[in-house]
Chain A
Amino acid sequence: MRRRRCLKLLTALPWLGAAGRLHAATPFEAAWRALLGGVPPVLSEDMRLELPEMAEDGAQVPLTLSVGREDVEALFVLAEMNPVPLVASVELAADALPYLAARIRLNGNGVVWAVARCRAGWFYAQREARVARGGACG
């Protein structure tokens, strides 16, 4: 009952805008949902995501991703600390190995996610990343 009254109060505060804005998704949450819908991927031991433990320069961070599976269709890299978290999406032909090396931007410390869309489903790996010098707004 009390909760309902609170909700009523919130929706009655026009200067807060839509009540939903109070619970606005972070850019990362929005990107994650756009990629995966509501279905959580499975943590995979077959995915190797390599990043420096401490990147000297967030504007140039080497990343290597490889997946020890035969059924990978696409790879995705997301950086939760970036204003645009989806860094890259790569659709792979059947004869392309599930491997990617690239240099990315990291806009601070946080988690970098690699997601693989496979015929058997969606899998992921994650790595905590730290940067000594922030990343020029990746």
Chain B
Amino acid sequence: MDGVEVSARLRARRLAEFTEIRLLIHHPMETGRRVEAGSGALVPANYIERLTLRLEGRIVADCRLGTGVAADPSFTFRLKTGAPGERVAASWRDTQGREGELSAVIE
């Protein structure tokens, strides 16, 4: 990733009925409609438009996001499958073309 540093956290836990996956991405999710205080200029749009979640390399949730997702977006997903030790990965791309990826082992 170049330019803005984007950090994220991913945690996956096997519970009795399902695997719970929590993802938090630090991202401004700029809508393109926000006016900067002071200059009065519009802050250019920059939001995560695509988010893909994989279990052991296979897509389990494929999301298209809009500007209605809050800044520093957080998501929780649940899978019937997933065993401790298996790997979950999240990857995303924002409207300025920056990509991010993070994986975690199911606890």
Contact = CB atoms under 8 A, between A and B. Distances in A.
B68 A138 contact: yes
Contact of B61 (A93, A103, A136, A138): A93
B29 to A, nearest CB: 8
B31 A102 contact: no
Interface residues on A, range: 20 to 34
A137 B68 CA distance: 8
Interface stretch (A3-11, A13-21, A76-84, A115-123): A76-84
A97 interface: yes
Interface residues of B, number: 28
A59 B70 contact: yes
Q: Is the interface of B mostly helix, strand, loop or mixed?
A: strand
Q: Which of A60, A96, A105, A137 has the most CB of B within 10 A?
A: A96
A90 B62 contact: yes
A89 interface: yes
B73 A102 contact: yes
10 contacts: A83-B33, A86-B66, A88-B63, A88-B68, A92-B60, A93-B61, A95-B60, A100-B75, A101-B74, A105-B70
Main secondary structure of the interface of A (DSSP, over half): strand
A87 interface: yes
Given A79-B68, A105-B69, A138-B31, A92 B76 contact: no
A65 to B, nearest CB: 10
Given A102-B74, A136-B34, A97 B18 contact: yes
A108 interface: no
Interface of A: 59-61, 77, 79, 82-93, 95-97, 99-106, 136-138
Contacts of B78: 96-97, 99
Given A88-B63, A90-B62, A97 B80 contact: yes
